Amino acid sequence: MPYDLMDIDINRLNLTDLDMYQCGMQICRPNHSWGPGIRDHFLIHYIFEGEGIFEINNKTYQLQAGDGFLIPPDTITYYEAKRDNPWHYAWVGFNGIKAESYLKQANLTLNNPIFSVTETSFIKKCFTKMISTQELIRSREIRLTGLLYIFLSHLIEIRENNSSDNNDIDRTELYIKEIINFIAKNYYRKISITEIADHIGLDRSYMWSIFNESLHTSPQQFLINFRIDKSCELMKKKNLSIADISRSVGYQDPLTFSKTFKKIKGIPPSKYRKDLYNK
């Protein structure tokens, strides 16, 4: 049965990690403004010169060169250039499955929509390259997406400059997600807790403490449970031996895998598989 276009929520067709919507650069006239209004995607402005105001969430921010501001989707905002010193800014609009997550890593949220960058050359270069992609014919979309990743990664790296980094709850939640994400991407190989801590940029003891406090288990036990759960999924593949499954989830020694599996599940992997087939 064909789809009826009216039954499709176009705003939910946002299925890729990042989608570039728009980008540009403008030297504004005195009192140039936009809004009040809403957008259906994320929009970041960065100010190279001049001043202006930004209103969001019942707050008004006085901004100047070196500042940037985030407009989240479906949020009423208003911004206006100063009469005597109008701003020159660039903007980039985007959305995607991971857009909000990346912005949180940069400490940019509805409650903390402002950031400051004292060294403007890198960001200006990013925007200049984005705008120059108009000259490309076949690869513009992929080039723009790559530059967007670079731009957001820079904001994440300088997040210490942003005020919400003082929010320990948000920061801890971010660390937990990064730890779990690292495990999910690397469980199949030999990894250590020290390697995870180094990747996240945390002291091993501190990482253990926040992880255990949040999830009531250690990173090591979480890794073990994750591997065993993955092995249970692989048990459904009849063409894989127990040894094959063992290696696929990070255990080079099938005996060690079998002992660990039995400790977690209460039965050996061979019995688990047999019961699975007999269901």
What is the model's pLDDT at position 47? Answer: 94
What is the model's pLDDT at position 175? Answer: 84
pLDDT digits (tens, 9 = 90+) for 166-184: 455 567 887 888 899 899 9
CATH of 5-165, one of 3.40.50.10140, 2.60.120.280, 1.10.357.20, 1.25.40.10: 2.60.120.280
Mean pLDDT value of segment 186-196: 91
In CATH terms, the fold of domain 222-278 is: Arc Repressor Mutant, subunit A (1.10.10)
What is the model's pLDDT at position 135? Answer: 86
pLDDT digits (tens, 9 = 90+) for 118-145: 788 888 899 999 999 888 888 888 999 9
pLDDT-wise least confident of 110-114, 180-184, 198-202: 198-202
Q: Is 257 helix (H, G, I), strand (E, B) or coil?
A: helix
What is the model's pLDDT at position 12? Answer: 43
Q: Give the pLDDT band (50/70/90) at residue 97.
A: confident
What is the model's pLDDT at position 91? Answer: 94
Phi/psi-derived region of residue 117, left when phi > 0, alpha when psi is between -120 and 50, beta in every other case: beta
What is the model's pLDDT at position 1? Answer: 38
67-70 contacts at long range (C-beta below 8 A, 24 or more positions apart): 67/114, 67/115, 67/116, 68/44, 68/114, 68/115, 68/116, 68/117, 69/44, 69/45, 69/113, 69/114, 69/115, 70/42, 70/43, 70/44, 70/103, 70/108, 70/109, 70/113, 70/114, 70/115
* Cut 0.85: pTM above it: no
Q: Domains of the chain: which residue ranges?
A: 5-165, 167-217, 222-278
What is the model's pLDDT at position 234? Answer: 93
The chain-wide mean pLDDT, for the chain, equals: 86
